[in-house]
Amino acid sequence: MLYIGVDLGTSSVKLLLMDETGDIKNIVTKEYPLYFPKPSWSEQNPEDWFSGLMEGLKELTASHKKESIAGISFSGQMHGMVILDKEDKVIRPAILWNDGRTQAECDYLNDEIGRDKISSYTGNMALTGFTAPKLLWVKKNEPENFEKIHKIMLPKDYIAYRLSGVHCTDVSDASGMLLLDVKNKCWSKEMLDIIGLKEEQLAKIYESYEVVGTLKEEIARELGFPVSCKVIAGGGDQAVASVGTGTVGHGMCNVSLGTSGVVFIASKEYAEVEGNSLHVFAHADGKYHFMGVMLSAAASNKWWMDEIIGTKEYGREQAGINELGKNNVYFLPYLMGERTPHNNPNARGTFIGMTMDTTRAQMTQAVLEGVAFALRDSFEITKKLGVTIDRIRINGGGAKSPLWCKIIANVLDVKVDKINSEEGPAFGAAILAAVGCEEYDTVEEAASRLIKVTETTEQDSEVVALYNKKYEVFKDLYPSLKTMFDRISVQ
């Protein structure tokens, strides 16, 4: 049988076709526009998603046996707000995860309603990317549109609706709306009252691997797919990407070393995190996960190499770096502010510790180490939750650097595994489709059978001890500089 994974991203939709053994048959990507009608605003037309999806599905399956297509599932950009009227027509362009217009609404929720209260309802504090503040913004600034709302959907749920006719969402994606009681996996009545909504305006909640329906007859006819093709709920991009890396089951951890950095930790149990320093969301495997996000991971190294040194020879710049744990130059990788654990947009990138004999290689090493130390901040929070991590899986552009993997292994004191797949969200979505079609009994079983470790970088106890001392310095730098960051930001 064949299974389709759809990754609905911010700039494009990526579609992947695989068989029951995990063999990838084809991959297709279709781009669509992103609109910035005002500074800090970010919107898209949901019809562009659906047009790209349909065009992509036809191309993806053109040379394959369409009668063998058993199921389709999704990974989606999280937090986006799609609002439909009683005719199921889109009321206004979707407001996306990276839209920054809702700071006043977040301040209202966190400061007036109360951050502790919001967290007790949802497991998280209000952030500008989340869906609930967007709804408050529409209520205040576009009251005529707010009154028209019949259904509220997330981006990937909208295309699932267009395929199946079912208003659905899943627990992992819904966790980022600030409307879900994450612990109990149900809509929060308290949050609905705060926003001014009724529960019937929200979609039915599923686990990510559950079947929501089958293709509508006219959709199946247009695509040439069987009408029995199942539509599986899918999940938020980070959760589904972690399915695609096999990061399921208690204590499994994935580090994504992309433009931003994500520390994703699977957990069998829900736990509240003090100060909301980590996101607490439902996972696509039916359990939960914690997630720390740093805003400039591989982006920090790209900035240093491209803009400051002026080279694309990343490997050559790293070739002479051999002594780990002995560098006295430190770098704070806060080039775009920082989320975990500081949640401070005013934080800034900083070098400290240079002397007259500091070398270019030491500066380069400091950038790589600074990112690793910032990732460790999330690990330190996780330790307080009682979750033990002795190895991680790593992906993203930065993971191509053997040196960086070695630094991370020693800074975090873990084994660092690379795996046989780099497709992440689209592959994870296809796995969810296979589980939904009962090809596998559980997400964990599917991941263990389809995803294999191909390479492991191990830590060195002596280097770990050196980095432990360096981290003690690193973690004291931000609080020492915070007031200076605030002063710089207002100039």
The answer to whether the CB of 206 falls within 8 A of the CB of 170 is yes
Q: pLDDT tens, position by position, for the chain (491 residues)?
A: 999 999 999 999 999 999 999 999 999 999 999 999 998 899 999 999 999 999 999 999 999 999 999 999 999 999 999 999 999 999 999 999 989 899 999 999 999 999 999 999 999 999 988 999 999 999 999 999 999 999 999 999 999 999 999 999 999 999 999 999 999 999 999 999 999 999 999 999 999 999 999 999 999 999 999 999 999 999 999 999 999 999 998 889 999 998 889 999 999 999 888 888 888 999 999 999 999 989 899 999 999 999 999 999 999 999 989 999 999 999 999 998 998 999 888 899 999 999 999 999 999 999 999 999 999 999 999 888 888 899 999 988 899 999 999 999 999 999 999 998 888 899 999 999 999 999 999 999 999 999 999 999 999 999 999 999 999 999 999 999 999 998 997 76
User: Is 46 in a helix, a strand, or coil?
Assistant: helix
pLDDT digits (tens, 9 = 90+) for 216-267: 999 999 999 999 999 999 999 999 999 999 999 888 999 999 888 999 999 9
Contacts (Cβ under 8 Å, ≥6 apart) of 165: 213, 216
pLDDT digits (tens, 9 = 90+) for 80-120: 999 999 999 999 999 999 898 999 999 999 999 999 999 99
Element (H, E) at 137: helix 131-141
User: Is 171 in a helix, a strand, or coil?
Assistant: helix
Every domain of the chain and the residues it spans: 2-239, 246-420+460-491
pLDDT of residue 330: 98
Tokens coding 264: 């994703």
pLDDT of residue 443: 97
CA 371, distance to chain mean position in Å, is 18
pLDDT of residue 491: 63
**Bridge pairing between strands 43-44 and 94-95:** antiparallel
pLDDT of residue 339: 86
Cα Rg of the chain (Å, integer): 23
Given this chain, do its domains 2-239 and 246-420+460-491 carry the same CATH topology?
yes
Q: Pick the catalytic residue: 7, 48, 181, 237? A: 237
The answer to whether residue 237 is catalytic is yes
Distances (CA, A) of 366 to 69, 245, 314, 348: 49, 28, 14, 15
The answer to whether the CB of 317 falls within 8 A of the CB of 305 is yes
* Architecture of the domain spanning 2-239: 2-Layer Sandwich (3.30)
246-420+460-491 under CATH 3.30.420.40, yes or no: yes
The answer to whether the CB of 160 falls within 8 A of the CB of 233 is yes
Task: Name the DSSP letter for residue 16.
Answer: E
Sign of torsion, CA 45 50 52 53?
A: positive
